[in-house]
Amino acid sequence: MPPRMRRPRPAAVPPPAPRSRLRVRMYDVGFGDCFLLLLPAPEGRDRKVLIDCGSFKAGRNVLADVVGQVISDVTDDDGVARIDLLVATHRHKDHISGFADPRWDKVEVGEVWMPWTESDEPEAREIARAQSALALALHSYAQAAGAAAVADAPVLDLNVGTSVNGAAMERLRQGFRGRPRRRYLPTREASTRYVECAALSDIRIQVLGPSRDRETIFDMNPPSGEGYLALLGMRAASLAKPGASTAPEPFGRQWIDPTPSRPLDAAARSKLRDLNRDLPLELATALDKAINNTSLMLLFSIGEAHLLFPGDAQWGTWREVLKDPELCRLLEQCCFYKVGHHGSHNATPISFVSRHLGKQRQEVWAMVPVTSYSKWPDIPRAPLIDALKGKVTHFVRSDGDRQADAGFRWEGDLYVEAAIPIG
């Protein structure tokens, strides 16, 4: 066996006057998230942090092309693709589907971070059980309802997908080269929000979510109990065979009155008929919220620069963060904000934008990974985007116009990059 060859690393050339910059790359995956952080090392190669890689709906690029690009972007001069830290914020398709690609097997990963809800702890299993029971029920419903119904309510598709993201989840848990260390955060024992990453010792990383607070855990639990699931099943059955009920008859046939003298009016009867019409959509939305609230929310601090990556955390997680005055001060010092949940209203609290964002910073970057989709006209949410633009100095959408802001560098349609001073 030939000795393993490794090229000597080029001698570090200290950058000249303008102090070093951290690069944040947002890939255009369509409706999904994929971020690469490139951190200049004191010496040697850049350190690389990848946060999510998934797409629900293609935009200008197909996901496979983005995956190829990311892998080539993290490939060192020795031809080995290396990622120091890989973060999968939560198990939604639009954040992890890219990891189903077998090319990741060649990539050497230092650590894989996932939310604690993906761990083997009993509480985590309980949440996962409730979430997948609902996902499965929605899956059966979607099958009965047919493609048209699902196309009408893509949130159904997005969340049914969580039960079939198997290959991606499998790789995140078991795969990659280099026997990466798996960490499910925050740990139960953690006494501090800070988490050390071996390869990133000069960077302070705080885990802001998902919380282990009981109230917030409640927000990660979708409605459970067979009640709703049974109703969903019945709804599916009635779609397959209209008019026939699968519910048990409450009384013997002898009690049926074929000629009621005082029938119920048509309006009330139709009210009853439509009672559960929106139930599938409501449940899918509830599951979506539950899963979003498991998002790993991270705050990176490099020198004076603070970067906030909230995943798709919704109000449950945010509520916890905004309750803490110390964290609020840090949020005010953030110079980078990854806009949560593709710019929808429920992942960026109004009070965060109006009170904290950009308060103690001259220059602030915000990036929103999104592509417009006719089914969800409110994503991204126009008033939120306007408010953000008023608070930050550099704002960009992943499907945006290349000429829009000089504070970013575009690489074709593949990605857009911000260079943030960290000196």
Total of residues contacting another protein (CB under 8 A): 61
Does position 272 bind another protein by CB under 8 A? Answer: yes
Side by side, which strands form the sheet with 297-302?
194-195, 204-209, 297-302, 305-309, 336-338, 365-368, 394-397
8 Å CB contact between 306 and 330: yes
Q: Tell me, what DSSP letter sits at residue 378?
A: T
Stretch that binds another protein, among 139-147, 177-185, 195-203, 370-378 (CB under 8 A): 370-378
Site string for another protein, 293-322 (x = CB under 8 A): ---------------------xxx-x----
Is 201 an interacting residue with respect to another protein (CB under 8 A)?
no
Q: Which stretch binds another protein (CB under 8 A): 85-93, 143-151, 178-186, 244-252?
A: 244-252
Among 8, 242, 260, 325, binds another protein (CB under 8 A): 260
Maximum distance among all Cα pairs of the chain, rounded to whole angstroms: 95
192 binds another protein (CB under 8 A): no
Q: Does 223 bind another protein (CB under 8 A)?
A: yes
Is 3 among the residues that bind another protein (CB under 8 A)? no
- Candidate list 143, 174, 245, 372; residue touching another protein; CB under 8 A: 245
Contact residue for another protein among 41, 58, 136, 234 (CB under 8 A): 234
Q: Which stretch binds another protein (CB under 8 A): 60-68, 80-88, 204-212, 218-226?
A: 218-226
Taken as a whole, the chain contains a residue count of 423
Span interacting with another protein, options 28-36, 69-77, 286-294, 392-400, rule CB under 8 A: 286-294
Q: Is 155 in the site for another protein (CB under 8 A)?
A: yes
Q: Which C-beta is closer to another protein: that of 79 or that of 252? A: 252
Cα 75 to the chain's mean position, in Å? 25
Alpha helices in 12-116, H assignment, sequence order = 63-73, 93-96
Residues ≥6 apart with Cβ < 8 Å to 365: 24, 335, 336, 337, 392, 393, 394, 395, 396, 407, 418, 420
Q: In the complex with another protein, which residue's Cβ is closer, 7 or 262?
A: 262
β-strands 21-27, 415-421 pairing: antiparallel
Q: Which stretch binds another protein (CB under 8 A): 4-12, 14-22, 99-107, 373-381?
A: 373-381
> Distance between CA atoms of 240 and 255, rounded to whole angstroms?
28
CB of 240 to another protein, least distance (A): 16
Nearer to another protein, 173 or 269 (CB): 269
Interacting positions 24-63 with another protein (CB under 8 A)? none
In sign, the C-alpha dihedral spanning 370, 374, 378, 381 is positive
273 binds another protein (CB under 8 A): yes
Which helix (H) or strand (E) element contains residue 146?
helix 122-152
d(CA 180, CA 293): 25
86 is a contact residue toward another protein (CB under 8 A): no
DSSP 264: P
Query: Which residue blocks in 184-225 are alpha helix, DSSP H?
Result: 214-220
List the Cα angle 371/372/376 in 5-degree steps. 120
If binding is defined by CB under 8 A, does position 226 make contact with another protein? yes
Measured from the CB atom, the residue of 126 and 411 that comes closer to another protein is 126
Shortest Å, Cβ 299 to another protein: 21
Q: Binding residue for another protein (CB under 8 A) from 149, 167, 231, 327?
A: 231
228's CB contacts (< 8 A; 6+ apart) are: 134, 279, 283
What are residue 84's phi and psi, to 5 degrees?
Answer: -75, -40
**Interface ranges with another protein (CB under 8 A):** 155, 215, 223, 225-228, 230-231, 234, 243, 245, 247-252, 255-258, 260-265, 267-269, 271-273, 275-276, 279, 281-286, 288-289, 292, 314-316, 318, 341, 344-346, 349-350, 376-379, 381
